[in-house]
Chains A and B, each alone.
Chain A
Amino acid sequence: MSDVLFLILRRMRAPLIVLITLYAVAVFGLAITPGIRADGTREYMSLFHAFYVVSYTATTIGFGEIPNAFSDAQRIWMILTIHLTVIGWTYTLGSIFALVSDITFRTAVARSMFTWRVRHVGAKFFIICGYGQSSAQIARALDRLGYRIVTIEQRPERAAKLVIEDISQPLIALCADARFPDVLRDAGIHRAECAGLLAMTSRDDVNQTIAIGARTLRSDLQIIARVKDATAQQNLLALGGIQVVNPFETFATNLALDLDAPDVLRLEEWLTDSPDAHCPNRLGIPAGPWVIVGFGRFGRAIARVLDARHIPWRAVDHRGGAALDDEQHQLVVDDDTDRALGGADIAHAAVVVAGTDNDAANLAITTLARRVSPKIYVVIRQNHVADSVLIHAARANMRFVQADIMVHECLQLIKVPLLATFLRRVAVEGSHAAAAVIESIQRSLGRGAPRVWTFHCDVMQPGMFAAFFQSGGCPLQLSLLQLDPFVADESLACLPLMLARGSDLVLLPATDTTLMPGDRILFVGDERAERLQRRYMRDVTAVEYARSGVEPPRTWLFRVLRARRERVAQSRRQAGSDRGN
């Protein structure tokens, strides 16, 4: 707001001074110009009357000669006054209109409105820097989860479109460069309602700057950055506290999992998919040489995976610059794709990757490859969300959609942060552990409903405080969290996948594990189990009821009465046993 006021004051200074001066000259001039009364005597107009006359004359209202008919001298002065003040008003009004249409002024107004809306948002929100295909999908998903979205987009034409974005709560958008810390500050990064920041612009260096800036401004915030370059990724990971999503690397990692440990990938896809999806089947990539068309960052990421597993591959690219680091002459550089595919020996390849950054070209490559070898396994890359129909028509065996991977990864990080840790841990343990997890989930929960959530033994929650500190030293066991908090002896449809205690991780923890304050447990189960389990955090009496099956008294008076009754009962029992002896 102060920017707007400052600009107005600055710009209006000259016009206002001109106007005041003209009024002063006109009023004083009129007051010292002699007038003639009807009886012929001289009379001077008072300052009050002069100001009155100038006021209506300057604004060209013109009531006439009030209070008395003017003398000729006064008329001469009025002619001057009219012309001068009209010029003054024109200048002032012109300055006001110029100011209102001025781009600096409008930017300042837009900025202060944005700041005001962020300050009064009144709900948890995410800051998304850069609004492209993936950001739009993430924004819609977060909107469904009940978060507000604050977007900062640098390109004015993109920013102008944000107002028509079809989501339930309007976006709070600003057209600015998020690399500047004051922009992030105005976007509410310091506010308690700010749940996280996503740096999703199309440029790595911009995302890197935003993420580092945000991390410096607020160290406890969840920050997710989209990065496609390995160096930038290492920089950000070295800084710590920033989660990096690299779509090419993610796809390559998935590919590597599928080649090495297909069950780990199955588990990952199953748990991160939408609720009530079935456990997916193995992809079944055939063994044999690969042909990678399009040897950019995507092609190289795949080539690295293949190299690590000693799978032979050839690459095709129409740009010669890609050949620089080609030691084994695996790269064919040719403008004619058909000839290049022949050069890469497509006839004997088992898998073709259509991975250029042009969707039409990828379709053409698929067709050409199938003409030579109809049974070939096709991995296709889709660059634009709008081309989804085209890419579906190609009926490829595996699709790489950058926006989908971004959305998937980011939502996973936002919704259940512990799940990413769990999946990484399972990947380390290998396919065997993953198969065991899948089997135990299917055995206890059936095939559907892979809903995943985290239970946090947070002693700031009233229920957990009571369970740990007001239970008289009775330990809290993990099996208790699997009981229904309303109906004694009924169990909930859920299974603990992992226990995180500090930096220690326990896969599939035993149900008789004693919980400690601060433990986080990753559960899989159905929606009802998640909802009911939350009672243990919020409800002070839930844990005690689940332990004993008796609803404990909630008020002080009844607690005192119960303690008294227990004492009486105990002394009676004692008396009875004494008599028995």
Chain B
Amino acid sequence: MNLEKVIFGFFIILACTLNFGFFIGDIDEPALHHPMELGAAVAVNLIATVLKFGDRTHLGATHLATSLVASLQLVAAAVFWMVHVYGQGLPMDGPSVSTVVSLSGGALLANFISITLLIGETLRQGR
């Protein structure tokens, strides 16, 4: 067992699961999408991105690209939330929360690709 692989896999999968947890639920129902979970998804996605730094293989480059996409989408969602609630002082209503959730949905897709790459890599290793 390789500890590096455990940590690597842990963060990538956690990034995806947190993302999924935030995303699931009616898209325009603010009560079903907790900001804490979005914050956690942002933090874990950033860590997963940094973990992928410095891998020179082609697969490593694709990995990094997917994580960068996911982080970008989640940070965009968080910034939108922040500006909407604190910048403009408006309550979190249906249309606004649906923007945030759809952004996180895009990130979720990137995270799925990331996990697919992880699984593919693991299967190819065969040991």
Contacts and interface: CB of A to CB of B under 8 A. Distances in A.
A18 to B, nearest CB: 10
A13 B36 contact: no
B24 interface: no
A9 B56 CA distance: 11
B27 interface: no
Does more than half of chain B's interface fall in helix, strand or loop, or is it mixed?
Answer: helix
A511 interface: no
A504 to B, nearest CB: 55
B82 A6 contact: no
B51 A13 contact: yes
A561 interface: no
A277 interface: no
A12 B50 CA distance: 9
A20 interface: yes
Contact of B47 (A17, A31, A46, A47): A17
Interface string A7-38: 00110110011001101100110011000000
B51 A20 contact: no
B35 interface: yes
A369 to B, nearest CB: 66
B40 to A, nearest CB: 7
B59 interface: no
A6 B35 CA distance: 35
Interface residues of B, number: 16
A49 B53 CA distance: 30
A48 B86 contact: yes
Given A6-B56, A48-B85, A48-B86, A13 B50 contact: yes
Contacts, number: 47
Contact of B46 (A6, A20, A47): A20
Mostly, the A contact residues are helix
A569 B51 CA distance: 88
B85 A12 contact: no
A17 B39 contact: no
B43 A31 contact: no
- Among B35, B43, B53: residue with most chain A CB under 10 A: B53
B126 interface: no
B35 A46 contact: yes
Given A20-B47, A46-B35, A47-B35, A10 B40 contact: no
Contacts of A12: 53
Interface in A233-270: none
Interface string B84-95: 011000000000
Given A47-B35, A47-B36, A48-B82, A23 B53 contact: no
A106 to B, nearest CB: 19
Given A13-B54, A24-B47, A28-B43, 11 more contacts: A13-B50, A17-B51, A20-B43, A24-B43, A28-B40, A31-B36, A31-B39, A32-B36, A46-B86, A48-B82, A48-B86
8 contacts: A9-B53, A10-B54, A13-B51, A20-B43, A20-B50, A28-B43, A46-B86, A47-B35
